[in-house]
Structures are given as structure tokens and as C-alpha cells.
Amino acid sequence: MHLLIKNQGIITTFVNQFKLFMTNITVIGSGTMGNGIAHTFAQFGFEVALVDISVESLSRAIQTITGNLDRQIKKGSIDEQLKKRTLSKIKTYRDLKLAAASADLVVEAATENPEIKLNLFKQLSDICKKGAILASNTSSISITQIASVTKNPGNVIGMHFMNPVPVMKLVEVIKGYATTDEVTDTIMSLAKQLDKVPVEVNDYPGFVANRILMPMINEAIYTLYEGVAGVQEIDTVMRSGMAHPMGPLQLADFIGLDVCLAILNVLYKGFGNQKYAPCPLLVNMVTAGHKGVKSGEGFYIYPGGENKELTVSPKFTRNKSAMI
């Protein structure tokens, strides 16, 4: 395995003398999270099978990974040799069986939809070799529920990476009701090998990160909806007053408003508590296709996919209140 060592501003690699217990990683889903997870495992020397149903999505994923590696080179955190080695470790597949049959670990990063995830894990239970660990990158869906459709629920666990995966240190390791201690310890150790900070949490709606984060984002949207303050004002308060690197409305755009809505619905259904009910404004925005950065418009507009100047959407510049 390749560990990264900082030396005079350049990260070089050396081979760990300890024998790896796993080498083959399959990542399901080539979107933002999937390609980031594939990038990270490959950069640390693992053989990665990246699988998606769309050839175009897989092509975009490799382009994204290449661009992110180039940014790492510009920052001096890796060199050209490590970039080439990382890309050589990633193979793309459209066939799930071919991609996962020899996997030591599968990390599912598909759409945050319970039906899709349950179907995938049921298939993986038949495809994967005995002893393979099945992990989900879900940000809120029950690991216990996902595990219930598999033949070996003790080998199913949550491995919730943060976006952008190559940069963010945290990995929530979610232990389902049936997840074994051995599997939990293995994933905790593996996350450390990726230079991440793993935190073990129990399997309840939203886990820790989103159980705390999503109500804050939802309350920020309610604050806009009820006309207490405008988009920039709300984000400025949280950036300048609470030392948040990004305001909650900008963060919601970055995460994806559809993802925020899906997580809030999981929290609301799971706890049956009105405090988790999604703001009507959020529901309307997602219904209208305004999902944030990914769609080009949310609380801010993103004409080129990004908006460093943070131009507020015209929808919210006419007056402070978004209540309609």
C-alpha cells in the first residue's frame, strides 16, 4: 500500500511493509461521491473498480478525477508520477458482476434512494465472494435496513465520506444492528490508512453529521422563507459570526437541495418529529428543478457550474421574504 509522506512540500510514496488484508475495492456510482471515493482509494495504492450504468458518467468521472489530481499537483501535494499511478489503479465497468466478483470491499455511492440501495445490496449479496465487506456511503438511510436484504448482515456497514472526498478528513463509520465488531474495526483501520479521521456511530436516522447539520440548513431556509433575512445576510451571519467556512444556504447548494430534502425526509419519517419537517420553500425549489450547483441554480446561480462571486438567485433578490 502507498502511504503519503510530506517532504519539502512534495508528497512522495513508499510501500508499506505490512501486508494488506484487502487490495480490491469496488465503488458503485461514478457521481461526485463515487469518483471522489475511487480517487482516494486509488491514490493510496488500492486496485479500484468503478462501476456505473452509464458510459458517459464513467467518462466524466475519470475526467473529474484527472482534473482533481492536476489541482493536487499545482498545490504541491502530489507529483506527476503519483497522478499516473493513481489513474492506472482505476478500471471502469458497466457490469456489476464483473466489477464486484473479486472485491474485498464494496463501497456503494449510488443515488440516495432506499429502493435503489436495497436492490443493489441484494444483488451484491449474491455476487460477492464470502467475507467481502459491503459498505454504503449513504448519508442517512438505515444500515440495518440495508443489511436486512443480504445473506450476511454482519458484513454490512456504513462508510460515510464527506465531500470533496480527497480533501475532507471525516468518515462516519456506521455500525448497523447486526454489524460485527471485527468488520467495524476493519473499516476504522482502513479509513486511517486513507489518512482519514474515522468516527464510529450507531445506526439511527441521519447518524451524527446530518442529524445536526440538516436541521441547521432547514432552519436557515425557514429564516429566508419567513422573511427574517435575505440569502447573503443569513450566510454572512453564519460565516462571520459563527466561523463557518461556508454559509448554510451556500452549503445546501453545494450538497444538492434534492439531497438535503431526501435526508430531511428520512429524519422526519424516522423520528416522527415536526422539527425535521422540510421547509416548504425547499420542497418547491427541488420540485422546480432548482437543486443548487448541480442544476445551475439554487439560492445562488452557477452559470459555469461554480460561482466564486456568489450571485444570489434573482428569485431572492426582489425582497427579503421567499414566502409564497
Residue numbers annotated as active site: 139, 160, 172, 210
Nearest residue to 91 (alpha-carbon basis) of 27, 18, 171: 27
Cβ(27)–Cβ(93) below 8 Å: no
Residue showing cell 454489524: 179
DSSP E strands in the chain: the ranges are: 2-7, 10-15, 24-28, 47-51, 90-93, 105-108, 133-136, 156-161, 170-175, 197-202
Cβ distance 147 to 122 under 8 Å? no
Q: At what angle do helices 80-88 and 55-75 cross, to 10 degrees?
A: 160
Pairwise CA distance, residues 181 & 186, whole Å: 8
For residue 307, the number of C-alpha atoms closer than 13 Å in the C-beta half-sphere is 20
